[in-house]
Amino acid sequence: METTHKLLRKESLEKLYNHLSEQRRIYAPVKTSDGKVEYRYNPDFPDVTFDHIRSTLSVKNLVFPKVENLLYYTSTKTETTVTEIDINKTKEVVLWGAHPCDTAAFDILRSIFCWDINDEFFLKRLEKLIVIGLGCKSSDEYCFCTSVGLSPVSSKGSDILLTPLKNGHFRADILTEKGKKIAASGIDLFENYSNDEILVTEVKQKFAHDQVTGKLATVFEHPFWVENSLRCIGCGACAYVCPTCACFDIQDETKGKNGRRYRSWDSCGFGLFTIHTSGHNPRSVQSQRWRQRLMHKFSYMPERNNSLGCVGCGRCSSGCPVDMNIAEQLETLQSI
């Protein structure tokens, strides 16, 4: 779909925000009292931040929540009744102010959740999601979107992308049918754009991902894995904050006769992630688990899903208690 750039004035931002939140929930970033950035439902416009580099948690919660009921059941002496979740009850939600790394993640998640069968829960949530992207005017040393084929102004995954301009207004790109519907919904806020200069940060490329993918196919037994994973403590922080990590655990919880089956986030970094019922654990050592993480994202996924498993947002590295910096490790790997 061809896009012509439009102009959205600073003053019209609040009007757009309020219009969007009139009939839908809106998920927008706010700064918390301890200096972190958190996405919350329906904050007031003055609290919404436009200056953030990254939020602590990703926004995958909208399509892959940290806990999601799958079905309910009731057991009596003679039979068990299963009640399905009515996914049609899923409500529309607007994701406001998501940077290009986060918006690109939705496609990657789709390649995982619709790999062999279509995950209905995920798809319905994605269908009801409207993404208003926000280009990046600042970045830090953890960002590496340009190393994974993205950029601070990439339009991948956004329905409407707002890029900050040097004059304080925004360049708006209406990219999808969903975006078109919003723009045409009687608000008339998008004006003609006359090539005002964009205010966008520069993210230096740290490595070439296709080179890394090629290298990974040859270094499975390399001592690099042990040397560089000794300090990993094996928590789930990197997987949980990552916008593209999608491993989950399914559990049943029963109270008396009633119960529910739910799925919740899981991490391949946990020691018992791969333990078999026999007690055998094929990935019993952290180096094997660390290798799995990097190879899954940069070798197995390109091979099977035709997409990288990483968007270069840097959350894993900035959230890691022991500085397991994925970009640094891949840079080193590239030159082995």
Partner 1 sequence: MPEFEPKIVAFVCNWCTYAGADLTGTSRIKYSPNVKIIRFPCTGRIDFMLLLKAFANGADGIIVSGCHPNDCHYTSGNFHAKRRWIMFKELMDFMGIDMNRITFSWVSAAEGAKWAEVVNTTSARIKELGPYVSYKELVNRPIEEEVKNE
Partner 2 sequence: MNNLNVKARKLLETKVVGVVIGFETGPTGIVRPAFITDPSKADTLIYDEHCTQNLAVYLTKPEVKKLGKIGIVAPLQVMRGIMMLISEMQITADDIIVLGISSKGELLEISDISVMQGLIEKSELSNPLKDKELLDKLTSLSREERFKWWQNELSKCIKCYACRQACPLCYCTRCFVEVNQPQWIQVQSNTYGNMEWHILRAMHLAGRCISCGECGRACPVGIPCHLLTMYLADETFRYFGVRAGTSDKMKSVLSVYDPGDKENFII
When binding is defined by CB under 8 A, the residue of 24, 38, 208, 275 that contacts partner 1 is 38
Q: Which phi and psi (to 5°) does residue 29 adopt?
A: -85, 135
The answer to whether the beta carbons of residues 92 and 130 sit under 8 Å apart is yes
Which option in partner 1, partner 2, none does residue 34 bind, with CB closer than 5 to 8 A by kind?
A: partner 2
For residue 262, state whether it binds partner 1 (rule: CB under 8 A): yes
Q: How far apart are CA 276 and CA 6, in angstroms?
A: 56
Q: How far apart are CA 161 and CA 159, in angstroms?
A: 7
Which option in partner 1, partner 2, none does residue 285 bind, with CB closer than 5 to 8 A by kind?
A: partner 2
User: Which residues within the stretch 153-212 sit at the binding site for partner 1 (CB under 8 A)?
Assistant: none
User: What's the closest the beta carbon of residue 110 comes to partner 1, in angstroms?
Assistant: 20
Which option in partner 1, partner 2, none does residue 146 bind, with CB closer than 5 to 8 A by kind?
A: none
Which option in partner 1, partner 2, none does residue 286 bind, with CB closer than 5 to 8 A by kind?
A: partner 2
Which option in partner 1, partner 2, none does residue 40 bind, with CB closer than 5 to 8 A by kind?
A: partner 1
Q: Which stretch in 22-30, 156-164, 237-245, 304-312 sits in contact with partner 2 by CB under 8 A?
A: 237-245
| Radius of gyration from C-alpha coordinates of the chain | 22
For residue 270, state whether it binds partner 2 (rule: CB under 8 A): yes
When binding is defined by CB under 8 A, the residue of 17, 27, 262, 298 that contacts partner 2 is 262
When binding is defined by CB under 8 A, the residue of 139, 154, 213, 325 that contacts partner 2 is 325
- Alpha-carbon 90 to chain mean position: 20
- Kindly write down the DSSP assignment for every residue of 250-294, as one continuous string: EEEEEETTEEEEEEEE--TTSTTTT--TTS--TT-SHHHHHHHHH
Of the candidates 23, 26, 49, 46, the one whose C-alpha atom is nearest the C-alpha of residue 38 is: 49
Q: How far apart are CA 28 and CA 37, in angstroms?
A: 10
Query: 307 to each of 252, 290, 300, 330, how far by Cα in Å?
Result: 33, 20, 9, 17
Binding site for partner 2 (CB under 8 A): 34, 36, 56-57, 66-67, 141-142, 226-227, 230-231, 233-237, 239-241, 249, 251, 253, 262, 264-265, 267, 270-272, 285-287, 319, 321-323, 325, 328
